Amino acid sequence: MTSQLFSPFELGSLRLENRIVVSPMCQYSAVDGSATDWHLIHLGNMALSGAALLIIEATAVEPQGRITPGCLGLYSDDNEAALRRVLEAVRGQSDMPIGIQIGHAGRKASSEPPWRGGQLIPADQGGWPPVAPSAVPMYPQEPAPLALDVAGIERIRDAFVASARRAAALGLDALELHCAHGYLLHEFLSPLSNHRDDRYGGSLDNRMRLPLEIFEAVRAVWPADRPLGVRISATDWVEGGWDLEQSVAFVHALKARGCDWIDGSSAGVSPQQKITLGPGYQVPFARQIRAETGITTLAVGLITEPQQAEAIIADGDADLIGLGRGLLWEPRWPWHAAATLGGQVRTAKQYWRSLERRATGVFKNMEFGMR
Ligand SMILES: Cc1cc2nc3c(=O)[nH]c(=O)nc-3n(C[C@H](O)[C@H](O)[C@H](O)COP(=O)(O)O)c2cc1C
């Protein structure tokens, strides 16, 4: 039986070699939003993994939209030039398609990186005032964020468009809008964080309005032949919050506007969340969204075993799987999965000899001989 995980897939007009996607992962290692040598090493490493698509970390559309001062941005010429340097180097050594996730941290902005505790940074220690749909803090002990007025909303919508244009100019192959994990666009979707009484709050249509407006505006400038997807938190895991039913309605609306895939994550908007964690715990969200809307889905979250990943694709739960922590731990996960499942990966010729005595069929592009 041929492996479904290692079968090709058309994501819009982008041809993927297999179904494994490097999930976006913040590195907190940028300077003023600009990529550094760490990004060159990290993205270079991931680009040699044998996955089919690499999605660059959450990248802020304006400086205030960075989660931490070390978050990547795509809001200035310097940011664009720094990312171009990294991409040119990585592309010189790997033909893996590369996408990017753009977003705005909303009330979770101005925070310390996880290795410093993740708490909000006050203004007198280099922080900045976070913005949100409503002046509701994430934790009761935190200062309230500034509620965005319509001018602020328009500024942020324009910032998404400007970043999408920069991503297109960089030749990035795919673009993902971050509407998950309690960041700004998710804050608009969820009734837990959105208490507005204007056209951007209240009913489901109103809460979806800004994310959909931004999607439309980005779709208009992102090249029609390159895929545009959205990462959602399919549920807040809180009674009375955003849930799967609302997600399905949102996905129908996104699909009608030209969305190419949904990346089905969850949680992040409320400390009240009660997550049922376990292997593949978010896969049922991808499955239901795919079944009800017919959109391409990417399942992510505690997918760690080759057979588990194979079953997700073979059973039609999702079209693609995303790996985060598993690839940090073992960047050659796709090679091992290919060896286990009888699949093949494309890899750098310099590494072909790693398998010369073993499963020699694993490297798709191998042409090797020694005298
Ligand atoms: C270090 C790290 C950074 C992350 N940064 C992002 C991010 O930038 N954007 C995002 O949507 N998710 C982010 N995530 C979540 C992952 O993309 C992924 O959805 C999550 O880790 C679950 O998948 P896993 O069990 O394979 O790690 C991050 C996760 C980790 C471990």
* DSSP sequence for 17-82: SSSEEE--------BTTB--HHHHHHHHHHHTS--SEEEEEEEESSGGG-SSTT--B-SSHHHHHH
Q: Give me the CATH number covering residue 148.
A: 3.20.20.70
Nearest CA to ligand 1 atom 29: 25
When pLDDT is averaged across residues 140-153 and rounded to a whole number, the result is 97
Which residue out of 23, 269, 297 has the highest number of ligand 1 atoms within 8 Å of its CB and is therefore the one to mutate? 23
When pLDDT is averaged across residues 255-279 and rounded to a whole number, the result is 97
pLDDT, position 250: 98
Nearest CA to ligand 1 atom 1: 25
pLDDT, position 352: 87
In the reported structure, the alpha carbon of residue 324 is separated from the centroid of ligand 1 by a whole-number distance in angstroms of: 5
Contacts for 154 with CB less than 8 Å, ≥ 6 apart? none
In the reported structure, the alpha carbon of residue 36 is separated from the centroid of ligand 1 by a whole-number distance in angstroms of: 20
Residue 357 clears pLDDT 60, i.e. is over it: no
User: Which atom of ligand 1 lies nearest, measured to the CA of 302?
Assistant: 25
Length of the chain equals: 371
- Show the domain range for 68: 9-362
pLDDT, position 356: 62
In the reported structure, the alpha carbon of residue 147 is separated from the centroid of ligand 1 by a whole-number distance in angstroms of: 27
pLDDT, position 348: 93
Token pair of 217 as six digits: 């505006």
Q: Which amino acid is at 60?
A: A
**Residue 106: CA count within 13 A, CB half-sphere:** 29
pLDDT, position 359: 58
Whether residue 94 is contained in a domain is answered as yes
In the reported structure, the alpha carbon of residue 26 is separated from the centroid of ligand 1 by a whole-number distance in angstroms of: 7
pLDDT-derived band of residue 370, with 50, 70 and 90 as boundaries?
low
Whether residue 3 is contained in a domain is answered as no
Give me the helix-helix angle, 77-93 and 150-169, nearest 10°.
Answer: 30
CA dist., res. 223 & res. 177, Å (int)? 15
Nearest CA to ligand 1 atom 3: 25
When pLDDT is averaged across residues 57-66 and rounded to a whole number, the result is 98
When pLDDT is averaged across residues 312-325 and rounded to a whole number, the result is 98
User: Which atom of ligand 1 lies nearest, measured to the CA of 23?
Assistant: 17
When pLDDT is averaged across residues 302-309 and rounded to a whole number, the result is 98
Q: Are 282 and 299 in contact (CB under 8 A)?
A: yes
Nearest CA to ligand 1 atom 11: 24
The residues facing 34 across adjacent strands are 31
Whether residue 291 is contained in a domain is answered as yes
Whether residue 343 is contained in a domain is answered as yes
Residue 360 clears pLDDT 80, i.e. is over it: no
Contacts for 212 with CB less than 8 Å, ≥ 6 apart? 253, 254, 257
DSSP code, position 120? B
Whether residue 278 is contained in a domain is answered as yes
Whether residue 170 is contained in a domain is answered as yes
Give me the helix-helix angle, 204-221 and 244-256, nearest 10°.
Answer: 40
Token pair of 265 as six digits: 């994550």
Q: What pLDDT, in 10s, does the model give residues 150-159? A: 999 999 999 9
pLDDT, position 371: 59
- Enumerate residues lining ligand 1, CB below 6 A: 23-26, 57-58, 101, 178, 180-181, 231, 265, 300-303, 323-326
Whether residue 4 is contained in a domain is answered as no
Whether residue 369 is contained in a domain is answered as no
DSSP code, position 138? S
- Number of domains forming the structure of the chain: 1
Q: What pLDDT, in 10s, does the model give residues 96-124? A: 999 999 999 999 999 999 999 999 999 99
In the reported structure, the alpha carbon of residue 300 is separated from the centroid of ligand 1 by a whole-number distance in angstroms of: 9
When pLDDT is averaged across residues 261-266 and rounded to a whole number, the result is 98
pLDDT-derived band of residue 41, with 50, 70 and 90 as boundaries?
very high
The residues carrying an active-site annotation are: 183
User: Which atom of ligand 1 lies nearest, measured to the CA of 176?
Assistant: 11
CA dist., res. 136 & res. 37, Å (int)? 37
Nearest CA to ligand 1 atom 13: 25
Q: What percent of the chain lies above the pLDDT cut of 70?
A: 97
Least confident of 212-216, 348-352, 362-366: 362-366
Q: Are 345 and 362 in contact (CB under 8 A)?
A: yes
pLDDT, position 296: 98
Q: What pLDDT, in 10s, does the model give residues 195-221? A: 999 999 999 999 999 999 999 999 999
